[in-house]
């Protein structure tokens, strides 16, 4: 049943949030410290375990996959309900931070590509690229 | 007319599904027909969303009673819930294929995005740990930013900036990747795996690699799928705490 998947997701979500909030309390910062991340790790772990045991069938998985497929529309809805009017003064920050981070990442490609490079990592040869 | 409006207001969440569906359809059309996939439809959809938020005030378009359901659909509860669900697609066995270079690229990529984003935010006047962390997290991806921001309880406008930073990243990755691919030796699967880990914005990585060489797309996507999850784990925890102690 699909609801099993959704219930598993809900369980992991709440437990993850709980962990994040407890961690926040523990270090005396009353915030959620990485709750969503913990929840993701929990879901990865439990679904891996359950699948191995054969307790998680594809039917249950579709319950989770639906929510995973709908996250972009949800982010769009979120974007439409933010206080953009007040944020417009920060437009330059967004532009610089976003562009700067991307360019810095790109610049590191040649350096990090050297890690574990093998001989068969030669360039893919085809002529179709670069024309778009 | 009144009856129609009443139905829409009373069933706000359902109407929000319809609205977002129309936005997605529209942005898909703009991306494919008008832009020839030069900008991913996801980025266009979020830009439309941010644009619509302009029409309203503090709660964006949800300030109009007709669109109040958008606040429910886009609220932090459903958003975090659906983002956690994406972990399902991340197969742990796949990370072995990515190898050490991929894993290191992921960590370096998140750190460098956060670091560079944070520096710009700091010098432009966002000096408290929560706001700074949120904008810097937005420089990772447009998901990590709002997830971090709501966890740390920052205001809606700062979250908007973080989303915008993530969207800029997607667009820059899409446009610049084919232009500088040769210069950064992005012409083999190994480099694509590293590239996916360093940039991390899945839509930007996929679109950028598709414009460079479609054969590289699956390799870049392999590492990029882990980026947002790892970012949601690291940014509001390790990175936030380090900033908090530094400032």
- Output the pTM of the full model: 0.88
Dump pLDDT digits (tens) for B126-160.
Answer: 999 999 999 999 999 999 999 999 999 999 999 99
CA gap B18, B16 in Å, rounded: 5
Asked if the Cβ–Cβ distance from A98 to B139 is below 8 Å, we say yes
User: Residue B206: which residues within 8 A CB-CB, separation 6 or more?
Assistant: B40, B217, B220, B221, B224
Asked if the Cβ–Cβ distance from B157 to A82 is below 8 Å, we say yes
Which residue out of B17, B27, B84 would a mutagenesis test of the A interface target, given it has the greatest number of A Cβ atoms within 10 Å?
B84
pLDDT score recorded for residue B212: 92
Which residue out of A22, A58, A71, A102 would a mutagenesis test of the B interface target, given it has the greatest number of B Cβ atoms within 10 Å?
A102
DSSP code of residue B64: S
Q: Beta-carbon neighbour count of residue B36 at 10 Å?
A: 10
* First and final C-alpha spacing in chain A: 45
User: Residue B86: which residues within 8 A CB-CB, separation 6 or more?
Assistant: A40, A68, A71, B225, B228, B229
- The chain A residue lying nearest B20, using CA atoms, is A73
Partner B, chain A 56-95, Cβ-Cβ below 8 Å: 61, 64-68, 70-87, 90-95
Convert B13-35 to b/e letters by CB count within 10 Å (16 or more is b): eebbbebbeebbeebeebbeeeb
CA gap B225, A37 in Å, rounded: 14
Asked if the Cβ–Cβ distance from A31 to B236 is below 8 Å, we say yes
CA of B12, closest CA in chain A: separation in Å? 12
Asked if the Cβ–Cβ distance from A78 to B191 is below 8 Å, we say no
Asked if the Cβ–Cβ distance from B81 to A67 is below 8 Å, we say yes
Going by pLDDT thresholds of 50, 70 and 90, the confidence category of residue A122 is low
Q: Is the C-alpha dihedral spanning A5, B151, B76, A75 positive or negative?
A: negative
Asked if the Cβ–Cβ distance from A33 to B237 is below 8 Å, we say yes
Q: Phi then psi for A20, rounded to 5 degrees?
A: -60, -45
In chain A, residues with a C-beta closer than 8 Å to the C-beta of B116 are 97, 100-101, 104
Most distant pair of Cα atoms in chain A: their distance: 58
SS3 A84: helix
CA gap B116, A105 in Å, rounded: 10
- The chain B residue lying nearest A76, using CA atoms, is B46
Query: Cα–Cα distances in Å, from B53 out to B74, B105, B164?
Result: 12, 35, 12
User: Residue B42: which residues within 8 A CB-CB, separation 6 or more?
Assistant: A72, B27, B170, B203
pLDDT score recorded for residue A120: 56
SS3 A122: coil
CA gap B148, B104 in Å, rounded: 22
CB proximity A19 to B under 8 Å:
no
Measure CB to CB from residue B113 to each of A75, A101, A113 and give the nearest one.
A101
Dump pLDDT digits (tens) for B22-37.
Answer: 999 999 999 999 988 7
In chain B, residues with a C-beta closer than 8 Å to the C-beta of A28 are none
Dump pLDDT digits (tens) for B75-98.
Answer: 999 999 999 998 886 777 777 778
Query: Cα–Cα distances in Å, from B163 out to A81, B78, B133?
Result: 12, 17, 13
Measure CB to CB from residue A106 to each of B73, B180, B215 and give the nearest one.
B180
Dump pLDDT digits (tens) for B163-214.
Answer: 999 999 999 999 999 999 999 999 999 999 999 999 999 899 999 999 999 8
Measure CB to CB from residue B24 to each of A73, A82, A100 and give the nearest one.
A73
User: Residue A57: which residues within 8 A CB-CB, separation 6 or more?
Assistant: none
Which residue out of B44, B112, B165, B170 would a mutagenesis test of the A interface target, given it has the greatest number of A Cβ atoms within 10 Å?
B165
CA gap B85, B99 in Å, rounded: 25
Within 13 Å, how many C-alpha atoms sit on residue B217's CB side? 13
Dump pLDDT digits (tens) for A29-40.
Answer: 778 888 999 999
CA of A6, closest CA in chain B: separation in Å? 9
CB proximity A26 to B under 8 Å:
no
């Amino acid at each position: 049943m699909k609801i099993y998947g959704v219930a598993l997701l809900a369980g992991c979500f709440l437990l993850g949030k709980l962990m994040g909030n407890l961690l926040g309390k523990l270090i005396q910062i009353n915030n959620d410290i990485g709750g969503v991340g913990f929840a993701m790790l929990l879901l990865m772990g439990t679904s891996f375990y359950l699948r191995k045991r054969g307790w998680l069938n594809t039917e249950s998985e579709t319950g989770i996959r639906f929510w995973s497929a709908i996250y972009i529309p949800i982010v769009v809805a979120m974007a439409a309900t933010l206080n953009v009017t007040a944020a417009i003064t920060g437009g330059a920050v967004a532009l610089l931070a976003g562009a700067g981070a991307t360019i810095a990442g790109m610049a590191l490609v040649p350096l990090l590509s050297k890690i574990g490079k093998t001989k068969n990592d030669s360039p893919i040869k085809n002529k179709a690229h670069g024309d778009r | 007319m009144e009856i129609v409006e009443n139905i829409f207001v009373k069933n706000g969440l359902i109407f929000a599904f319809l609205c977002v569906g129309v936005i997605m359809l529209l942005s898909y059309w703009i991306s494919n027909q008008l832009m020839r996939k030069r900008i991913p439809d996801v980025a266009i959809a979020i830009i439309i969303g941010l644009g619509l938020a302009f029409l309203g005030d503090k709660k964006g378009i949800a300030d109009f009673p007709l669109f109040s359901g958008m606040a429910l659909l886009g609220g932090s509860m459903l958003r975090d819930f659906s983002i956690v669900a994406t972990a399902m697609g991340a197969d742990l066995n796949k990370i072995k294929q990515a190898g050490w270079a991929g894993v290191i690229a992921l960590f370096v990529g998140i750190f460098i995005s956060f670091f560079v984003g944070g520096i710009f935010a700091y010098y432009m006047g966002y000096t408290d740990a929560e706001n700074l962390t949120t904008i810097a997290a937005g420089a990772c991806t447009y998901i990590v930013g709002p997830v971090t921001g709501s966890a740390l309880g920052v205001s809606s406008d700062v979250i908007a900036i973080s989303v915008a930073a993530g969207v800029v990243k997607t667009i820059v990755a899409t446009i610049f990747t084919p232009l500088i691919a040769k210069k950064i030796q992005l012409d083999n699967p190994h480099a694509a795996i590293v590239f996916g880990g360093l940039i991390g914005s899945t839509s930007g990585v996929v679109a950028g690699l598709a414009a460079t060489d479609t054969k590289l797309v699956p390799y870049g996507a392999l590492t990029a799928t882990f980026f947002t999850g790892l970012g949601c784990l690291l940014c509001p925890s390790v990175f936030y705490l380090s900033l908090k102690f530094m400032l």
